[in-house]
Structure 1
């Protein structure tokens, strides 16, 4: 071997480093045939045809879409010089650099060596020739490619030791070109998955605010002593519970109207004043618990809108009439506004 081994070692080094850098799994096999041309063979005999038939087979591995390595067999054909046969055949080892031109076509270049054996009248010889090549590949399917390849090998047959002085023969030396059409199979290649954009998830719009219009009813007999407007202890407890119910409704931009009612016992003026005083007492208590003062209003309705209607008209005894008219003595709190249904919880009316 001589200095012409260097391309092979370079090819091996590049292939090894590429394998370590970006391993993938696309190996392939192929074969082809075509034309061989011996550029310098007519130096040894005039009228010698320079053309011959080339045959090749190979196996390779693509480390990624731009770089691969290939090991193959190449026969450059036979030449007849003055009745003597000359031919070369051997192994090729090369690094493949590839440039995709879209989804179907790609171009490639290769560099490496041709470890050949030649036969001639001087006997056989093995040597290494530098090899360079260019090609165009068309992808027919996931498994099958077809490609054309041109290769150039330098000084095939060059061996000074076989230049026998005085023997009447001289070892032939020639640069050789080959042009082949090749079928390539990729048993393990698949189409790269096309990235699919994640579906756009649109958050559902927030629930539309729902109107709030709820009335809470408290008995005045629970809140106040008869004819009075000062809260009893049990009345404060009842308003504490009522306040929590209003908070649970979560009214936004809400308003609270506190309306006081009395029974029909006594004068209209006294009943009107008493209903207003009781409504004011309840409103002040709720404001003290946390309701905004500017959102709370009061209304005294006196003895209007009785709940009992005429059911107590036949009762003459005062104590019995007071008991019968108890439902008319009440305080109503009407809460209005809007509420988010996702935040609202069901509420219950307080006990009468």
Structure 2
């Protein structure tokens, strides 16, 4: 490959562009790690009268340590130390030795998600390096780029597989060799913090909103419940009230308020009619209590001839008038409460 660093830079930029969100833990942004792998040198340029020499497999071991800070979901800044291994070299006198390459690097790391736990990333940065051998050395700076995959094991630990390329290490006029380096490594990182995610606390169910008060209303014919001018319930009246009691009990009367209103017609004096209407309402209330309705929720009132349903103004014979005014002789039971159901 004629320009490997340019190619890596292009791929790294392309990988960084879609980086919007990934699985990194930014609750605790600091992390540290290490790596080890295979290091090799390319595009080697020797000083005059210098040449290559044997390089053992042991010389090709590369390693490094790094520390990083995760700024947000897709960008981190990393710095670290890299040992890039040794390269055999022969000087003008025919002596063989090893050039050693190492450096301190700083790079930006751009990540994008592949799965919930796996990220692809690119690093772009610079390495301040030292190349030394045969008693000579050269210190300089070189651009670097890297591509990798990082797997988040849990909130604390991740592992990464990476290829890093560093361009133009060394100087032929100083240490006798200038070369590019490729480091293929396997690394592991520890992310500080990483406390277990808080267990969601179940929110209490909202208190039920009370339904709007409902009303059960029963309008009873006074002539069915009582004999004329009487406040004593007859058998037919008790049977009808018993049916109403069952409906009220089904509606949970302990959550209701029951009002009983007695009415008469206009025949007779106002005082007599008021007294009769109260007695009739009280008789109905007593019957409800006898059937198991709590007395504490019952009120009984009499209204005499008030609020007539019919007037019968043009009816003269008394018998006809009594018959005409029958709708006014009534008892109204109203049960009001949240639990009342019609």
TM-score, with structure 1 as normaliser: 0.53
- 2:299 corresponding residue in structure 1: none
Q: C-alpha displacement at 1:250, in angstroms?
A: 10
Aligned partners of 2:45 and 2:178 also within 8 Å: no
- 2:65 corresponding residue in structure 1: 57
Aligned partners of 1:258 and 1:297 also within 8 Å: no
Pairing 1:1-352 to 2, within 5 Å after superposition: 25-41=28-44, 45-46=51-52, 48-49=54-55, 52-82=60-90, 83-121=96-134, 123-158=136-171, 160=173, 162=174, 171-190=176-195, 201=206, 203-204=208-209, 206=211, 209-213=214-218, 258-259=264-265, 282-283=305-306, 286=307, 296-297=309-310, 334-336=331-333, 340-342=336-338
Output the CA distance in 2 between the equivalents of 1:194 and 1:106: 25
Aligned partners of 1:41 and 1:50 also within 8 Å: no
The runs of at least 4 aligned residues of structure 1 exceeding 6 Å deviation read 194-200
Q: C-alpha displacement at 1:129, in angstroms?
A: 0.4
Aligned partners of 2:100 and 2:131 also within 8 Å: yes
Output the CA distance in 1 between the equivalents of 2:127 and 2:138: 13
Q: Secondary structure at the match of 1:65?
A: coil
Unaligned runs of 5+ in 1: 1-6, 8-22, 163-169, 218-248, 264-278, 287-292, 304-330, 345-352
User: In structure 2, do the counterparts of structure 1 residues 50 and 193 end up closer, same or farther at CA, with 3 Å as the change threshold?
Assistant: farther
TM-score, with structure 2 as normaliser: 0.54
Superposition RMSD in Å: 4.4
- 1:318 corresponding residue in structure 2: none
Output the CA distance in 2 between the equivalents of 1:149 and 1:194: 35
Unaligned runs of 5+ in 2: 1-8, 10-25, 91-95, 223-256, 270-301, 320-327
User: In structure 2, do the counterparts of structure 1 residues 210 and 78 end up closer, same or farther at CA, with 3 Å as the change threshold?
Assistant: same
Report the count of equivalent residues: 227
Superimposed CA distance per residue, residues 4-44 of structure 1 (whole angstroms, 9 cap, x where no aligned partner): xxx9xxxxxxxxxxxxxxx8532111111001110023755
Output the CA distance in 2 between the equivalents of 1:97 and 1:191: 25
Output the CA distance in 1 between the equivalents of 2:151 and 2:30: 17
